[in-house]
Structure 1
């Protein structure tokens, strides 16, 4: 089973000491291929993510911001490999679309732009072929609906997985501009001392499963005073606050409370998903 080259049927027949003929091995090979529907090297979630990102490009008006968004998407897709449910039971296109939707929502992309991106994906889904075995999904073949329940469930699981990685990291994130790559720098609360370490930008992703902080419930876009109030409240309750630099506006992640993009404060919870 570990042969580096293709073994001819004649050699296999000799190795079986005449028990099986060459035609037996050829027929067995055809049975396997037909059972797999000839999908012996199907595209992975990473392949789908890269193709969909190319389809949606540009995601914003800034190349630097696009690079950060792409890194966050690929990080979540790679993170899914460590989860059995996501890597085996879910179709690769579902994981890719869930990662893209997660990132677009987390960084505060406008709903109009998100709708445009989803419409492009729907157009591609109408023309695309099967991307996974029917056993992994009860739906029809082809790219999954970007607004379907499968994608919604994977979005929640991916962000929970990212939060778990963040919480199990020994040192809190502290990132800065190094070699032109955006990094996350920690802002210590009054009750904590500043520590220096670094982790990938995307490991500070908030979880949609966390309860919304009461200071986030009444937040309206464009009011920095409200964002400041939420930051103070988070510090009083011992929440770690991180600042993500690398774009014209800083992205603040107050785990597990909320995300701020400039003056925009976004709750981490998604009430539409349970």
Structure 2
């Protein structure tokens, strides 16, 4: 949900193919997962030159984006494999709502988001921002209060901090309210399902998105730590074709560097 590439560094280091992490950024906060997928598809087709096949991975809320992106690529005559870490969006939504259950009102949720982001960006105790927000009656006022409280305490610009706060609230709202339209994909879906009280071993919500049977692998880690589970990279590598694996085995993985005389 935070949309930062660093979460995937450990997993990507163990993959047997080159990987690119696409970040949603802070410039399109109101776009839907379909619009985000369309934006990503232009990057994949025009800049990265995706050929006839592809390998996509979606994590958490990114599962929906990966499925939408796969549908767009199939419209361009390409098929591939979609790896999904987490579960279907219905399960992700239920997990998000469970995490937010302590916030009984929208105002409490907004204050909680501001306090959490304040704590991430500043070493100060969140009691400072919590006391300031008691006099705020709207989201805009809470954002302004956070900007004022962070002034001189962080090196980030006010514009950047505002964008980060708006992005956090927007992405949580998308996870809570978005309902995808199922696409019957030709591409293979591989689900790496994390521990959850909302699914049973026989319940595969992603099956409605594929004409092929969905392969399910159970992870021991909860969703917050799933990308650190070394099984993820191992599972992905199992689905790679022989020519890709042979290329990996024959390539030089050493990092060259210059030695001063």
TM class by shorter-chain length?
under 0.3
Q: Highest relative contact order (Cα 8 Å, sep 6+), 1 or 2?
A: 2
The TM-score with structure 1 as length reference comes to 0.25
The TM-score with structure 2 as length reference comes to 0.25
